[in-house]
């Protein structure tokens, strides 16, 4: 298994011989404004350029979109991807959106498992910020709240859990207990909205994850690129050094981890 950190939540997972592009956000540095509902909205994003070419990024076997948010999907991805590529989404709503963009092979990942070329993909659940607080706010600004994670399972491979945009919550904890993943990818920049709520994992959530899955390798993704971040790669590295942890990885953009 290999995990190539592209930028932000965009990663390429090589698993059981297949390459999955997850959450392709492929526009150039600072092409979009910061999120008005988040802190630091004056900062344009993404904060860094892509580390490799778009042509190289889209040379994959399938695409997974965890949710239809503008820092996980953009027109650059839409225009660069083959419209016949297998494309996995979380819901009927997202399926209809992606189909309307011209993609022909769009599939919903099931909680019970969806097979692809000998690999089983399981949809998992989370909270993109505390549900009781953030879901109503998302409705006010006409932005979908729901997102998903994905568990990868295949013969002769370790179990991989890409948690997606979630805080540490009961749903996340339930997934750890159910699948007992060997590798966990968490989105960990502590993105924060104007009411002070963080909507993906921060250092406290990372600490809880370490305690809940002490034998797993934990990969910190979604770092150093959105306007509303509160945790940087350097913050996590300092946390790792202080705690003397050996199982946390903080890949730079363009870095590949092999398990």
- 3-state SS, 87-131, equals EEECCHHHHHHHHHCCCCCEEECCCCCEEECCEEEEEECCCCCCH
User: What does the pLDDT profile of the chain (259 residues) look like in tens digits?
Assistant: 999 999 999 999 999 999 999 999 999 999 999 999 999 999 999 999 999 999 999 999 999 999 999 999 999 999 999 999 999 999 999 999 999 999 999 999 999 999 999 999 999 999 999 999 989 988 887 788 899 999 999 999 999 999 999 999 999 999 999 999 999 999 999 999 999 999 999 999 999 999 999 999 999 999 999 999 999 999 999 999 999 999 999 999 999 999 9
Please indicate, yes or no, if residue 196 is contained in any of the structural domains.
yes
Q: CA 215 to CA 234: how far, in whole Å?
A: 23
Please indicate, yes or no, if residue 258 is contained in any of the structural domains.
no
Q: What is the CATH number of the domain that holds 209?
A: 3.60.15.10
Q: CA 177 to CA 174: how far, in whole Å?
A: 5
Q: Where are the alpha helices (DSSP H) in the chain?
A: 54-57, 75-80, 92-100, 131-140, 170-179, 203-212, 233-243
Please indicate, yes or no, if residue 211 is contained in any of the structural domains.
yes
Please indicate, yes or no, if residue 242 is contained in any of the structural domains.
yes
- Domain range for residue 179? 2-253
Please indicate, yes or no, if residue 193 is contained in any of the structural domains.
yes
Give the total number of structural domains in the chain. 1
Q: CA 188 to CA 9: how far, in whole Å?
A: 10
């Amino acid at each position: 298994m290999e995990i190539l950190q592209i930028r932000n939540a965009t990663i390429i997972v090589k698993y059981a011989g297949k390459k999955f592009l997850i959450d392709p956000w492929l526009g150039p540095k600072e092409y979009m404004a910061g999120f008005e509902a988040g802190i630091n909205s004056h900062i344009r994003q993404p904060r860094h350029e892509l580390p490799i070419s778009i042509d190289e990024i889209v040379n994959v076997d399938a695409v997974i979109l965890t949710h239809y948010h503008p820092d996980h999907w953009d027109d650059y991805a839409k225009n660069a991807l083959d419209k016949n590529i297998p494309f996995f989404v979380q819901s009927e709503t997202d399926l209809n959106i992606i189909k309307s963009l011209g993609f022909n092979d769009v599939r919903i990942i099931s909680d019970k498992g969806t097979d692809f070329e000998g690999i089983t993909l399981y949809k998992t659940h989370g909270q993109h910020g505390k549900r009781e607080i953030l879901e109503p706010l998302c409705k006010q600004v006409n932005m979908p709240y729901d997102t998903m994670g994905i568990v990868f399972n295949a013969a002769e491979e370790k179990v991989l859990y890409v948690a997606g945009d979630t805080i540490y919550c009961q749903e996340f904890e339930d997934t750890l207990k159910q699948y007992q993943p060997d590798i966990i990818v968490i989105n960990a920049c502590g993105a924060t909205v104007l009411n002070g709520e963080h909507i993906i994992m921060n250092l406290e959530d990372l600490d809880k994850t370490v305690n809940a899955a002490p034998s797993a390798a934990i990969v910190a993704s979604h770092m150093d690129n959105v306007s509303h971040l509160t945790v940087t790669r350097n913050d996590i590295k300092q946390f790792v050094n202080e705690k003397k942890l050996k199982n946390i990885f903080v890949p730079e953009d363009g870095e590949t981890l092999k398990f």
